[in-house]
Amino acid sequence: MAITSANQLELLQTAEAVAREKMIDPDLVIQAMEDSLARAAKSRYGSEMDIRVHIDRKTGRATFTRVRTVVADEEVENYQAQLTVAQAKQYKRDPEIGDEIIDEVPPVDLGRIAAQSAKQVILQRVREAERDRQFDEFKDRKGTIINGVVKREEYGNIIVDVGRGEAILRRNEKIGRESYRPNDRIRAYVKDVRRETRGPQIFLSRTDPQFMAELFKMEVPEIYDGIIEIKAVARDPGSRAKIAVLSHDNSIDPVGACVGMRGSRVQAVVGELQGEKIDIIPWNADQATFLVNALQPAEVSKVVVDEDAGKIEVVVPDEQLSLAIGRRGQNVRLASQLTGLDIDILTEAEESQRRQAEFAERTKLFVDALDLDEFFAQLLVAEGFTNLEEVAYVDLDELLSIEGVDEGTAEELQARARDYIEEQNRKAIEAAKELGVEQSLFDFDGLTPQMVEALAKDDVKTLEDFATCADWELAGGWTTVNGQRVKDEGILEKFGMSLEDAQNLIMTARIQLGWVDPSELADEPEESEEEAEE
Q: Which tops the pLDDT comparison, 348 or 256?
A: 256
Helix crossing, 407-434 with 449-457: angle to 10°? 30
What is the model's pTM?
0.58
Q: Integer distance in angstroms from the first to the last C-alpha of the chain?
A: 56
Q: Residue 514: left if φ>0, alpha if ψ -120 to 50, beta else—which one?
A: left
d(CA 473, CA 64): 72
Please, which residues have CB within 8 angstroms of residue 459's CB and are 6 or more apart in sequence? Answer: 465
pLDDT at 11: 63
As a whole number, mean pLDDT of residues 335-347 equals 83
Q: What is the Cα–Cα distance from 114 to 112, expressed in whole angstroms? A: 6
Are β-strands 311-316 and 302-306 bridged in parallel, bridged antiparallel, or unpaired?
A: antiparallel
Q: In the predicted model, what is the mean pLDDT of residues 289-303? A: 85
Query: For the range 149-154, what are the long-range contacts, defined as Cβ-Cβ under 8 Å and sequence gap of 24 or more?
Result: 149/183, 149/184, 149/185, 149/186, 150/180, 150/181, 150/182, 150/183, 150/184, 150/185, 150/186, 151/182, 152/182, 153/180
308 with 498: CB under 8 angstroms? yes
- Give DSSP secondary structure letters for 187-216: EEEEEEE---SSS--EEEESSSHHHHHHHH
pLDDT tier, 6 (very low <50, low <70, confident <90, very high otherwise): very low
Return left, alpha or beta for 326; rule: phi > 0 is left, psi -120 to 50 is alpha, else beta: left
pLDDT of residue 527: 41
Cα three-residue angle 387-391-397, rounded to 5 degrees: 145
Judge whether 516 and 507 are in contact, CB under 8 Å. yes
pLDDT value at position 465?
92
DSSP 171: G
Domains of the chain, CATH where assigned:
5-125 (3.30.1480.10), 140-205 (2.40.50.140), 436-522 (no CATH)
Q: What is the DSSP letter of 63?
A: E
**Phi then psi dihedrals of residue 359, to 5 deg:** -60, -45
CA 25 to CA 30: how far, in whole Å?
9
Tell whether the model's pLDDT for residue 533 goes beyond 50.
Answer: no
Q: Where are the beta strands (DSSP E) in 214-295?
A: 228-236, 240-247, 277-282
Q: What confidence tens digit (pLDDT) does each residue in 470-512 have?
A: 888 898 877 766 656 677 888 988 887 888 888 999 999 999 9
Angle, helices 5-22/26-45, rounded to nearest 10 degrees: 130
pLDDT digits (tens, 9 = 90+) for 222-242: 998 989 999 999 998 888 999
Distance CA 206, CA 530 (A): 34
What sign for the dihedral angle of Cα 168, 172, 173, 178?
Answer: positive
Helix (H, G, I), strand (E, B) or coil at 446: coil
Are 421 and 389 in contact, with CB atoms under 8 Å apart?
A: yes
Kindly state the helix (H) or strand (E) to which residue 347 belongs, with its residue range. Answer: strand 342-347
CB-CB contact of 15 with 33 (8 Å): yes
Residues whose CB falls within 8 Å of the CB of residue 497, separated by 6 or more in sequence, listed in order: 451, 474, 475, 490
**pLDDT of residue 441 exceeding 60:** yes
Instruction: Give the Cα separation of 146 and 526 in Å (integer).
Output: 40
pLDDT tens by residue, 17-72 = 767 766 667 777 777 777 777 877 777 777 778 888 887 777 777 788 888 888 88
Q: Distance between CA atoms of 24 and 482, rounded to whole angstroms?
A: 46
> pLDDT by residue (tens digit) across 162-214?
887 788 898 888 887 788 888 889 999 998 888 776 656 788 999 999 999 99
Closest-CA residue to 47 (of 80, 8, 19, 20): 80
In three-state secondary structure terms, 280 is strand
Q: Using an 8 Å Cβ cutoff, are 190 and 138 in contact?
A: yes
Helix/strand/coil for 425 = helix
- Residue 492's region, left for phi above 0, alpha for psi from -120 to 50, else beta, is alpha
Closest CA to 282 of 209, 345, 357, 230: 230
Q: Which residues pair with 312 in a beta bridge?
A: 305, 343
Q: Is the pLDDT of residue 2 over 60?
A: no
Closest C-alpha to 292, from 357, 363, 341: 341
